[in-house]
Structure 1
Amino acid sequence: MTTELHEQLRRAVRDFATQEVAPRVAAMERDQAVDRGLASLIANQGWIGVTIDPRWGGMGAGHEAKTIIVEELSRVSAAAGAVAQASQLGVAKIALFGSEEQQRIWLPTIADGSVLPTIAVTETGSGGHVLGMRSTARRSGGSYVLNGKKCFVGNSHVGGLHGVVVRTGPGSRGLTAFLVEADRPGVALEPHEPRLGLHGFSFGSIRFDNVKVPASAVVGEVGGGLAVAYSSSILYGRVNLAAVALGLHRAVVERVVSEAQNRVRYSRPLGDLPVVQHKIGKMQARLAAASALVYQAASMLDRGQPCDSALIASKHEGVALLLDSVRQGMEIHAADALYSGSAMARLMRDSWCVEPPAGTGDVQAHRLAEGLLHPGRYPDWSERFAGKLAARGAWAAPASTPAPAEPLVLAAADGAPR
C-alpha cells in the first residue's frame, strides 16, 4: 500500500510530467527522433536511482515508488515512461549481481543522472529465446573481446553503460554478462529507426566489433549470464512494463471520458448514450484491476516477499487489459481516431509497443502455467534477492524482511534451462 511519502512523490512526478514532458510530446511525434534531452531531464531528477541503496546515493525507495514514477511519466508520454523503466533494467544487473567495486563505481553515477544504464540481451535471430544468442566474448589474457549485435536495447542511443550478455561457452552455463561503456572502441550504434510508437524513445541496435573489456567487467560469475538476464527481466522488466501500461491505461480512460463529455451527438453529450457509458464503465473496471495487480506486485517486492508469479501476471494482464480499453477507446472516437496526429492514435500506437518486451503475452501465460504445473522447478528470483529488493529507510514497510534463500539451480528437471 502506498503511503503519504509515495503520494508526495506522485505529485512531484505528475507536476514534472505536466510542465516538462507534455510540451515535448508534439515534437517527438512529429520528428520521430530520439529525444536526448528528455532522457537527461528524467535522469537529472535522480529518479533512475529510486531503487538504488542510499549508501550509493540512491533513494532506496523501492518498487512501489518506481512504479509511481513510471506510471506518472507514461500517463503523459509513454516514451518518457519507457526511458525510466529501461534504465531500471540497467540498474538491476549491477544492484543484484555487481561486485562491491562495480557498485561503488557505477551506482552513484547512475543515481545522480550522470550515466544511463541499459541491458542488451536480445538478438534478431533468437528474440526471447535467450539461449539462442550468437554474440560472443573470447578470453584474451586478462581481458575479453566481444563480437556480435544486440537489438531492441532500451535507451540504446542515450545509454552510457551497456549490460551485455553474450556467449562464452556452450549450453545454459555458457552465457556471461559484462559491463561495457558506450564509448569503448568497437561499440557502434546503428542509425535510429522509428517504431510504430514510443516516439522519442530509443530501442535500437548496438554492434560490438572486437570490443576489448577487462575481466573485471564481468557481472556476477563467468557462465552466470542466464541468471543475470532472467532475474533482471522478471524482477524489474515485468513490473516496469506493467507500470508503463498502467500510465497509458489511465491516459486512455481520461481521453475517452473527455471525448464523451465534450462531443455532442443528437444535441446531447456522447456520454449520454448507454452504449458509450457501458464501454467507459468496462474501461474503468479494467483500469482498477490493472492498478491493483501492479501495485500488489511492487508492494510484495518492497516487503521482500516471494512474488515472481505476481510480477509476471501484472505484465500479462496489465497489457491485455490496456489493449482491450484502447480498442474500445478507438471505437468511441470512431473516425476521428484515424488521424495519425490524434491523441487516441498515439495512445494506440504506444500501447502496442508495450506488449512484446520482456516476453509477449503468450510467453507470460506459459510462465504462469509452468509455475502451477511444476512448482519449485524454476528459480524464484524474488525470494533469492529479497534482501536486495526491499525498500529502505522511511520507504520501508514495517513488516520484517525474510533472509535471502540459498542459490537456486537454473536448469529445469528436464534439462531445459529457464
Structure 2
Amino acid sequence: MGKPYLLEEHAIFRKAFRQFLAQHAAPYFEQWEQDKQVPRSFWLEAGKHGFLCPWAAEKYGGAEADFAYSVIINEELSTIGAGIGGVGLHNDIVMPYVQDFGSEEQKQRWLPKAVSGEIISAIAMTEPGAGSDLAGVKTTAVKDGDQYIINGEKTFITNGYSADLVLVVCITDPQAQPIHKGISLIAVEAGTPGFTKGHKLRKVGQHANDTSELIFDNVVVPKENLIGQEGMGFYYLMQKLQQERLILAIGTGAEMKRMLDITVDYVKQRTAFGKPISKFQNTQFKLAEMATNITIGETFVDRLIQDHMAGKDIVTEVSMAKWWMTDLAQNVAVECMQLHGGYGYMEEYEIARRYRDIAVGSIYAGTNEIMKQIIAKNMGL
C-alpha cells in the first residue's frame, strides 16, 4: 500500500539508512544490549552520514528534510530494536525544542553538534514523585542575578547516562497559580558542577537504551540557558508532546510488523505432528488477525502523519493512536511468543527481546490512562 507522504527521494533515503544500520548497528546490537548503551561511535557515524536531525537548517549542518524522513528513521531503528530509540528521541523530541523555542545563539551553539553526533541530548521531565503529571515536578531553578541555581532529581531519563545536553523541566516560579504557569525549560550541559548522573537503571527491556537518574545539586547555569520564555515550559511541552506520541506510535507499528515477520518465518519452519505449524488453522487465524489489526493501526497512523505534516492540531487523534498501538503491540508480542512455543521464551530468539521491549510503550510519553483522559476531556466529558 503506497503512502502519499513518501516520494522517490524518501525511498532512496530509506534504502541508504537501512544499509547503514545493517553495517553499523545490526552486527553490534546484542553487545549494546549487554553494555546497556549505544556507543558514541555510532552516534558520530550516524551524524557523518546525515541521519541525525535531518530537519535542521543547512546553516546548522542539516538537510532541511521534511517529517517523512523522521518517519523512516524511526521505523528503521525500531526494526533493528527498540533499544536504539534514543536516537529518535534526540532527533524528533529533544532537539526540536531548541529549534522552535531556542534563541539564535542557542541554535548556533548546540544544533550543529547535535547534527554531527558530537552532542547527545535528553529531556528531563520525570521525577521520583512526578510522572505523567508534569505539574507535579519539584525540581527548582532559582534566578540569582544573571544565572539560575537548579536543585532536584530526575529519573527514568532516556539518553541520560550519555547525554551532553539535558533540557530540564523545572519550577522557576513556585508562587504561580496554577503551578504549571511557573514551569520553565532550562538547558544543562554535562560537566557543569553539581550535575551528576546516576548509574544506568536496570530495566525489564530496551537494555541498549541507556536510562539513568540525574541529580542537580546547586547547579549554576547562565540565564542564557533558558529555552524560550520563563514560565512557558509547560506550554512548550504540550505543543511538542503531539509529535513525541506520534513518533512512539510510528515506531510501535514497525516493531509489530517485525514481530509478525519473524513469527511467520518461524511457523513455516517449525513442524508438529508431521507438518509445519503454519498449516494449522489456529496458527493461520492468529496471524491473519494480527496482520489485519496491524494494517488498520498503520493506516490510522499514516493519516495522522499527513495531518501532522500539514500542521494540523491532532492531539486527540494522536492520543488515540498512542494507546491503541501500544496496547495492540503488547497483544501481538504475547501471540507471537505463544506461536514460538518454548523457543519463544529463550533469549536466543528475537521474539523474547521484543516481548520485553514492548511493555513500556503503554507507560512512557504519558501512560495510556492519561491518553484516555485527554480524549475524554476533548470530547467534553
- Which residue number in structure 1 is paired with residue 63 of structure 2? 59
Q: Which runs of 5+ in 1 are unaligned?
A: 375-418
Deviation string, structure 1 residues 327-362 (Cα, Å, up to 9, x no partner): 110111122112234211100011112221111111
**Other structure's SS at 2:379 match:** helix
Which amino acid counterpart does residue 343 of structure 1 have in structure 2? E
- Which residue number in structure 2 is paired with residue 116 of structure 1? 120
- Which residue number in structure 1 is paired with residue 155 of structure 2? 151
CA drift at 1:233: 2.1
Q: Is the 8 A contact 2:304 2:317 kept in 1?
A: yes
Q: Is the 8 A contact 2:37 2:207 kept in 1?
A: yes
Q: Is the 8 A contact 1:78 1:247 kept in 2?
A: no
Q: Pick from 4, 7, 10: which aligns with 1:3?
A: 7
If the length of structure 1 is used for normalisation, what is the TM-score?
Answer: 0.85
Which amino acid counterpart does residue 101 of structure 1 have in structure 2? E
Deviation string, structure 1 residues 353-395 (Cα, Å, up to 9, x no partner): 2221111111112112222227xxxxxxxxxxxxxxxxxxxxx
Q: Given the alignment of the two structures, is residue 319 of structure 1 paired with residue 326 of structure 2, yes or no?
A: yes
- Which residue number in structure 2 is paired with residue 363 of structure 1? 370
- Which residue number in structure 2 is paired with residue 353 of structure 1? 360
Q: Given the alignment of the two structures, is residue 295 of structure 1 paired with residue 302 of structure 2, yes or no?
A: yes
Cα distance change on mapping 1:198 and 1:324 into 2, 3 Å? same
**Other structure's SS at 1:209 match:** strand
Q: Is the 8 A contact 1:169 1:175 kept in 2?
A: yes
CA drift at 1:179: 1.2
Q: Is the 8 A contact 1:252 1:325 kept in 2?
A: yes
Cα distance change on mapping 1:13 and 1:180 into 2, 3 Å? same
Q: Is the 8 A contact 1:312 1:368 kept in 2?
A: yes
**Other structure's SS at 1:221 match:** coil
Q: Pick from 23, 33, 44: which aligns with 1:19?
A: 23
Which amino acid counterpart does residue 156 of structure 2 have in structure 1? F
Which amino acid counterpart does residue 181 of structure 1 have in structure 2? E
Q: Is the 8 A contact 1:63 1:299 kept in 2?
A: no
CA drift at 1:56: 2.5
**Other structure's SS at 1:191 match:** strand
Cα distance change on mapping 1:82 and 1:249 into 2, 3 Å? farther
> Which whole-Å CA distance do the structure 2 matches of 1:56 and 1:296 have between them?
31
Q: Pick from 233, 242, 255: which aligns with 1:225?
A: 233
CA drift at 1:32: 4.7
**Other structure's SS at 1:61 match:** coil
Which amino acid counterpart does residue 276 of structure 1 have in structure 2? T
Q: Pick from 356, 372, 380: which aligns with 2:379?
A: 372
Q: Which runs of 5+ in 2 are unaligned?
A: none
Q: Is the 8 A contact 2:90 2:120 kept in 1?
A: no
Q: Is the 8 A contact 2:170 2:185 kept in 1?
A: yes
Q: Pick from 37, 44, 53: which aligns with 1:34?
A: 37
Q: Given the alignment of the two structures, is residue 181 of structure 1 paired with residue 189 of structure 2, yes or no?
A: yes
Which residues of 2 match residues 207-226 of structure 1 at below 5 A? 207-226=215-234
Cα distance change on mapping 1:56 and 1:114 into 2, 3 Å? same
Q: Is the 8 A contact 1:83 1:154 kept in 2?
A: no
> Which whole-Å CA distance do the structure 1 matches of 2:60 and 2:38 have between them?
28
CA drift at 1:135: 0.7
- Which residue number in structure 2 is paired with residue 192 of structure 1? 200
- Which residue number in structure 2 is paired with residue 77 of structure 1? 81
- Aligned-residue sequence identity (percent) comes to 25
CA drift at 1:100: 2.0
CA drift at 1:147: 0.7
Q: Which moved more, 1:38-47 or 1:324-333?
A: 38-47
CA drift at 1:295: 2.5
Q: Which moved more, 1:140-149 or 1:110-119?
A: 110-119
Which residues of 2 match residues 205-354 of structure 1 at below 5 A? 205-235=213-243, 237-354=244-361
- Which residue number in structure 2 is paired with residue 407 of structure 1? none
Q: Is the 8 A contact 2:57 2:63 kept in 1?
A: yes
Q: Is the 8 A contact 1:119 1:163 kept in 2?
A: yes
Which amino acid counterpart does residue 279 of structure 1 have in structure 2? K
Which amino acid counterpart does residue 265 of structure 1 have in structure 2? A
CA drift at 1:87: 4.2
If the length of structure 2 is used for normalisation, what is the TM-score?
Answer: 0.93
User: CA-atom RMSD, angstroms?
Assistant: 1.7
Cα distance change on mapping 1:293 and 1:81 into 2, 3 Å? farther
Q: Is the 8 A contact 2:85 2:209 kept in 1?
A: no
> Which whole-Å CA distance do the structure 2 matches of 1:64 and 1:213 have between them?
36
Which amino acid counterpart does residue 304 of structure 2 have in structure 1? A
CA drift at 1:321: 1.8
Cα distance change on mapping 1:232 and 1:182 into 2, 3 Å? farther
> Which whole-Å CA distance do the structure 1 matches of 2:322 and 2:115 have between them?
26
**Other structure's SS at 1:305 match:** coil
